[in-house]
Structure 1
Amino acid sequence: MIIGFVVFSFAYGLSAQPASRAMPWHGTPLQALAALAGAALGIGLYKLFRRYVEGGLDTEFPLAVATRELGTGLLFGFLLFSAMTGVVWLLGGIQFQGVRGMGNLWGMIALGIISGTFEEILFRGILFRQFEAMLGTWAALAITSILFGAGHIFNPGATWFSSFAIAVEAGILLGAAYMVTRRLWFPIAIHAAWNFTQGWVFSVPVSGGDAPQGLLITTRNGPEWLTGGAFGLEASVVALVVATLAGVFLLLRAIKRDGTRPPM
């Protein structure tokens, strides 16, 4: 587990560079292609790691179900964030002022691909799987959720509440998404679509930072519990409730389908 986490953290950093805004092809289709190539290399490295370091077979990335599970996850992530944004809009926390156009389309596609692929390999493919084998399902879900939230504490605009929200809403949701299939395609797609939808479709900060130039021109006004403040809508109470409910739904499906694992 330790070797895997170190290797894929390093690979995450390397793969993010060609897709970053510092490259000359930033804002062009090449940026998205660079991210796709980095993700493909990361998946290939994971297969090699499972085979030659762990000494087992890769069951997390079977190609036969990739199209179906990626498509389902992308749609699920898009609809989930759109539903949550709709609730915030009904409560007066976000206003739509017009359509910008393409904006930073290629950069947001690249962000979704790279963050979705490598963060799910790290937190679900490496940490969750190994903690579950040692300590059981519930301990693995709790530990990886806490670590996932803590991993966002140094993001721009982060607060203790934003990290708590990420731990609960995303930790449960993505952990359960992995448990439903015991594969990584589905959680990767949900993660990527969630980031892409909030950043490009609704022009909302993705886990802190500046608001991206996305498809829709939006402004957020109101208390931080509703808008999420500088961190973005992920830190709103609405996101905490909606995404956690979706995570519990997936968790119940996972328990019914495949059950849980006891400690070793």
Structure 2
Amino acid sequence: MKLVWQVPAVVAVAAVGGQAVGAVHDDPWLSLLLGAVTVVLSVVVYRWVVGRTERRPVTELAREGARGAVARGMLIGAAMFVCVIANIAFLGDYDVHGFGSVGGALALVGFMAGAAVTEELMFRGLLFRLVERRLGTYAALVLSSVLFGAAHLLNEDATLLGAVAIAIEAGGMLAAAYAAARSLWLPIGLHFGWNFAEAGIFGTEVSGNGDTHGLLDSSTSGATLVTGGAFGPEASIYAMLFGGLLTIAFLRLARRRGTVVPRRRGGRADTLAALPR
């Protein structure tokens, strides 16, 4: 019954917000405004519906430490993409033709912020967190990652390789980041930092979502396994490599902090008292 109330509420805000921002993508200031509105409404709705249905403080979206967690996540996400694009450029498969569009980059701030927040609330805040209670951290990470990758098959230039790559590099990394921090702010920052660096700064495709207009006018060419092809660098072997390494790092951190939820023989996870329920 929790899912019956929680999922439709969060998905409705995400769908309406995404459509609204997409409809005004040619107007950078309006895109930024609607993206900010989507972020605020998504957080408010999540806090309200989860607090009401689970009758607890929504600690995974606590205000304390939120700014620092988002900032750290943005830095890690952006740095990860810099590593990916640097390797692609080293092979001569990424070319910069000049400066792109400041307005386009500004519009992407709103779009990427809305997407990062709504997707993290749905896939880590609801799916991963609730499955983890039943099956433990590792099973929840695998299941949520597979579904997160599969969801990207609906994108315009989706590919099977891209969906698999998203499951490996993003689904695992973002779930592991949440498991380590027990806060959604860190994966939200990671998600935004990665996506904005990819499109808003380096001007490459994002998850097969069509043309992007970032600060740099650029193009990729070469083997699909290196560049990701039409799906974008997220389908690159380098993205999978660095995403996998970060997943391992976050899981090790979670184990040191004692925030990994083990699965018990009865099929229900041994949920630690300190974790959001």
Give the alignment's TM-score, normalised by structure 2: 0.90
Q: Deviations over 1:155-198 (max 9, x none)?
A: 12222111111001101110111111101001011101111111
- Residue 126 of structure 1 pairs with residue 126 of structure 2: yes
Q: Which residue of 1 aligns with 2:19?
A: 17
CA distance in 2, matches of 1:190, 1:109: 14
Q: Deviations over 1:58-77 (max 9, x none)?
A: 01111111111111111111
CA distance in 1, matches of 2:9, 2:192: 21
CA distance in 2, matches of 1:19, 1:137: 34
Q: How does 1:161-172 map to 2 (within 5 A)?
A: 161-172=161-172
CA distance in 2, matches of 1:137, 1:213: 38
Q: How does 1:207-218 map to 2 (within 5 A)?
A: 207-218=207-218
Q: Which residue of 1 aligns with 2:114?
A: 114
Query: 46-55 or 101-110: which moved more?
Result: 101-110
What displacement does 1:103 show?
A: 4.5
Q: 2:13 touches 2:41 (CA, 8 Å); kept in 1?
A: no
* Unpaired runs of at least 5, structure 1: none
Q: 2:9 touches 2:49 (CA, 8 Å); kept in 1?
A: no
Q: Which residue of 1 aligns with 2:177?
A: 177
Structure 1 residues 97 and 208: CA distance shift in structure 2, 3 A: same
CA distance in 1, matches of 2:103, 2:214: 5
What displacement does 1:101 show?
A: 4.2
Q: Which residue of 1 aligns with 2:202?
A: 202
C-alpha root-mean-square deviation of aligned residues, in Å? 1.5
What displacement does 1:211 show?
A: 2.6
Q: 2:105 touches 2:201 (CA, 8 Å); kept in 1?
A: no
Q: Deviations over 1:97-131 (max 9, x none)?
A: 22224140222101211110000000000011100
What displacement does 1:93 show?
A: 1.7
Q: Which residue of 2 aligns with 1:55?
A: 55
What displacement does 1:50 show?
A: 1.8
CA distance in 1, matches of 2:26, 2:39: 17
Q: Which residue of 1 aligns with 2:273?
A: none
How many residue pairs match? The answer is 262
CA distance in 2, matches of 1:106, 1:175: 28
CA distance in 2, matches of 1:198, 1:220: 12
CA distance in 2, matches of 1:103, 1:29: 8
Q: State percent identity of aligned pairs.
A: 32
Q: Deviations over 1:225-264 (max 9, x none)?
A: 1111110000111111122112211221122113311232
CA distance in 2, matches of 1:252, 1:2: 30
Q: How does 1:1-264 map to 2 (within 5 A)?
A: 2-3=3-4, 4-20=6-22, 22-23=23-24, 26-263=26-263, 264=268
CA distance in 1, matches of 2:139, 2:176: 13
Q: 2:203 touches 2:212 (CA, 8 Å); kept in 1?
A: yes
What displacement does 1:217 show?
A: 1.6
Q: 1:27 touches 1:105 (CA, 8 Å); kept in 2?
A: no
* Unpaired runs of at least 5, structure 2: 269-277
Q: 2:145 touches 2:171 (CA, 8 Å); kept in 1?
A: yes
Give the alignment's TM-score, normalised by structure 1: 0.94
